Amino acid sequence: MRCLSIKKCVDDRALNWQVWQRLIGALPEATPAQPLRIVEVGAGIGSMAERLLAGDVLTHATYTAIDMEPTLLAEARHRLPQWAVEQGFQVQENGPGQLHLWRAGQHVTVETEAIDVARFMAREHGRRVWDLLIGQGFLDLIDMPATLPALCSLVRPGGLLYFPITFDGATVFQPEDDAEFNGAIEACYHQMMDQRVRDGKPSGDSRAGRRLFAHLRAAGVDVLAAGSSDWVVFAGPNGYPADEAYFLHDIIHTIGTALTGYPNLDAERLRIWEAQRHAQVDRCALVYIAHQLDVLGRMPALTGERKSGNRVTRQPSI
Ligand SMILES: C[S@@+](CC[C@H](N)C(=O)[O-])C[C@H]1O[C@@H](n2cnc3c(N)ncnc32)[C@H](O)[C@@H]1O
């Protein structure tokens, strides 16, 4: 939870602003009668909802945030009202899991639900559609070829799909020290992501970012914009920004734990690697880079439809 909160600041530096601007420019006009319908899968503690609300991007919107971890969504419901009040919003809780936030020119309803994305997609298929689907730091954790078509079916024709911070095959630590062993750690860590299984199904891809282009094409989605959004965490003259040393300790610990007992990886050398990396954080000497991509796509519009503003409407019959 603390890590996802720090991650928001690291993401703010990393997000590809060219892709972001394209997203903002492509959003359809919203009105009180026709609010923008957004769904976010794997929403965590609600960082993306905050980012969209902060930028005055959302005027009238409903924001459906789902995640399989109830504790993360509970934190989102705790954080969001506090944050929103600081930003000048008025906040009202409309029922369990539903918040209404408003200030001059902005009315947004946020609903959260703890549910696995597969169950959510199965339940909503043919029932509801959204104008924008967001999955931030999410696609590298699931079986993308199997899941993406169902995610697309949640988006209306002409609607948008935004997948920022999608991991793409590079985990870099500096100083390099023992380059050969560092290379082995990176390779094993990525292999472990590729081989991860949840509920008997594949659930991970260490090269999700680059593979997303082909998966979107196969699902009939046009890519409107794409660019890199690498995390780069380093210490400046005043050390690491905010709480980012904790973030680095957590990443080293996660990798060390994940690779403990991994075949063909020397356990003693792994233990020493972990200790050295933690010590480098303490000395503000560690640089960490993770390569990621942001991708924005659009569902094809139905034939026989035309664009009004950016919202697709049916051609009037003559
Ligand atoms: C790396 S975190 C990113 C969280 C948030 N999007 C952010 O960027 O701060 C991935 C999130 O996806 C959620 N998640 C992973 N697999 C899921 C699934 N099958 N269904 C729903 N949520 C899932 C996790 O619980 C976690 O909150």
Atom 24, ligand 1: residue with shortest CA distance: 42
Residues 20/70, Cβ–Cβ less than 8 Å: no
- Tell me the HSE value of 4 on the side-chain side, using a 13 A CA sphere: 18
Amino acid at 210: R
Location of structure tokens 């609903």: 111
Look up residue 195 and give its two tokens. Answer: 């081989």
pLDDT of residue 309: 40
From start to end of 51-115, where are the E strands?
60-67, 90-95, 98-103, 106-114
Residue 211 in this model has a pLDDT that exceeds 50: yes
**Residue 318, pLDDT score:** 29
Q: Which amino acid residue places its CA nearest to atom 12 of ligand 1?
A: 42
**Contacts of residue 92, Cβ cutoff 8 Å, sequence gap at least 6:** 99, 100
Band of the pLDDT at 96, cuts 50, 70, 90? confident
Q: What average pLDDT does range 205-213 have in this prediction?
A: 98
Q: What is the pLDDT of residues 52-86, one digit of tens each?
A: 999 778 999 999 999 999 999 999 999 999 999 99
What's the 68 CA to ligand 1 centre distance in angstroms? Answer: 7
Mean of per-residue pLDDT scores for the chain: 93
pLDDT of 155 higher than 70 = yes
pLDDT at residue 219 in the model: 95
The fraction of the chain above a pLDDT of 70, given in percent, is 95
Ligand 1 atom closest to Cα of 69?
25
Q: What pLDDT sits at residue 75?
A: 95
**CA 229 to centroid of chain Cα atoms:** 11
DSSP annotation of 140: G
Which phi-psi region, left, alpha or beta, contains residue 29 (left: φ > 0; alpha: ψ -120 to 50)? beta
162 C-alpha to center of ligand 1: Å?
15
Q: Cα 63–82–26 angle (5° rounding)? A: 30
**Substitution site in 47, 51, 138 for ligand 1 pocket (most atoms within 8 Å of beta carbon):** 138
Does the C-beta of 142 come closer than 6 Å to ligand 1?
Answer: yes
Which residue's alpha carbon is nearest to atom 11 within ligand 1? Answer: 42
**pLDDT recorded at residue 305:** 52
The residue length of the chain stands at 318
Q: Are 108 and 53 in contact (CB under 8 A)?
A: yes
CA of 67 to the centre of ligand 1 (A): 6
pLDDT computed for residue 304 by the predictor: 60
Nearest CA to ligand 1 atom 13: 42
pLDDT in tens, 117-144: 999 999 999 999 999 999 999 999 999 9
**C-beta neighbour count of 127 within 10 angstroms:** 7
Regarding the beta carbon of 112 and ligand 1, being less than 6 Å apart is answered no
The pTM of the full predicted model, rounded to 2 decimals, is 0.94
Cα–Cα distance, 10 to 108 (Å, whole number):
26
Report the nearest atom of ligand 1 relative to the CA of 135: 6
pLDDT in tens, 300-316: 998 765 444 444 433 33
Position 248 confidence tier, pLDDT thresholds 50, 70, 90: very high
% pLDDT > 90, the chain: 87
